[in-house]
Amino acid sequence: MERERLIVAVDFGTTYSGVAFCHSTQDGLRNSEVVSTWANNGVAPKTPTEIRYFADGKESLWGAEASLPCERRQAKDPAPVYSRFKLLLDPTIYAGVYADRPKPWSFRRRLEDLKLEDSTSIKLPPGKTAIDVSSDYLKLLYNDLMNHRLRKRYPDTLDITPIEFVFTIPAIWSHKAQEATRYAAKTAGFSSRALDSLSLVSEPEAAAMFVLQAMREKNFSRISAQKTTLQRGENFVICDCGGGTVDLISYEVEEEYPKFRLKESAVGTGAKCGSSYIDAAFKNFLLEKLGSDCKDESWFQKLIENGSTLMKTFDSIKRSFGQTTNDIWFLELGTEVPDNEEAGIVDSELEFTA
């Protein structure tokens, strides 16, 4: 008889990360629990994949707490926030169609004048690799998960229950990137207990299994009631649009009963063109528009930092784009900027068109 174990799914994402768990004896999506509260990170189904280091040896901040601007944290420490570092686990990050495009000399000169980095580039702390930062972040997540979430949920049995950790990875992840992810997770503590194990599954495959299970249980409201299951031999396409990567993969239903099985209809593909690249392009767009009016490095940095009023406004525009009749917005710049009608700046507002 197979020993009962705890299955913990970890979505280590480029922009957000999440965790869900259930017992191996449980069946059905309703028995799966999604972690929705995080220590010092508020209530949300996912927490930002961000970490903030401090030079004085103070414990690093992670998730939503790391994202808070200094003013809201009531702190004077301007320690930088590191994000999108997961993408650097793949050594082909800057290769291919979606590689960084060369910027005009005038734009690069402006960055140098303001001592700013190109927003499309991904920064790492001095002396640390992408694996180091990923491991540091995952260690904080692991400790919170084990000591607060699972310990409270299973106070009497957690220490004697084997845990099977399942990490999702992009379909386009190379073998090197897969091993880097596995190494970072293990170094962080996942499967460090003798009873525990760790495995990887592609993100679109995990998404496919969830949607198909939801169709069978008829508890996924966004799926048409006319189609509640897929038959053997039928094909379907999954498009998984994330913060860093977009994966596209097609499957064929190989077996329905007694065990549901899939096989790839064609080799999966994808690219590093997720929503975080849209945010980065917007920041560079701002720098180009503001031009010589961008006199203060700290002002511009506050303007574009994660969690700022301007970036929240842009995020709202981005999410609703194509779903409203709006084709023009006016973005408040938060400080007095000289009018520049050619650049669309009037009364310290920037005209932003569809």
Query: pLDDT digits over 126-177, tens only?
Result: 999 999 999 999 999 999 999 989 999 899 999 999 999 999 998 888 899 9
Domain 6-201 is in which class?
alpha beta
Measured between its terminal Cα atoms, the distance across the chain in Å is: 60
Burial class (CB within 10 angstroms; exposed 0-12, middle 13-18, buried 19+) of 218? exposed
Q: Which tokens sit at 260?
A: 């549901």
Global confidence as pTM: 0.80
Taking the domains of the chain in order of start, what are their residue ranges?
A: 6-201, 204-271, 294-353
In the chain, which stretches have pLDDT less than 50? 70-71, 73, 96-100, 105, 107
As a whole number of angstroms, the distance between CA 103 and CA 258 comes to 56
Q: Residue 227's pLDDT is what? A: 58
Sequence-distant (≥ 6) Cβ neighbours of residue 124 within 8 angstroms: 82, 85, 88, 130, 133
19 CB neighbour count, 10 Å cutoff: 24
In tens, the pLDDT along 13-38 reads 998 999 999 988 877 777 889 998 88
What pLDDT score was predicted for residue 201?
93
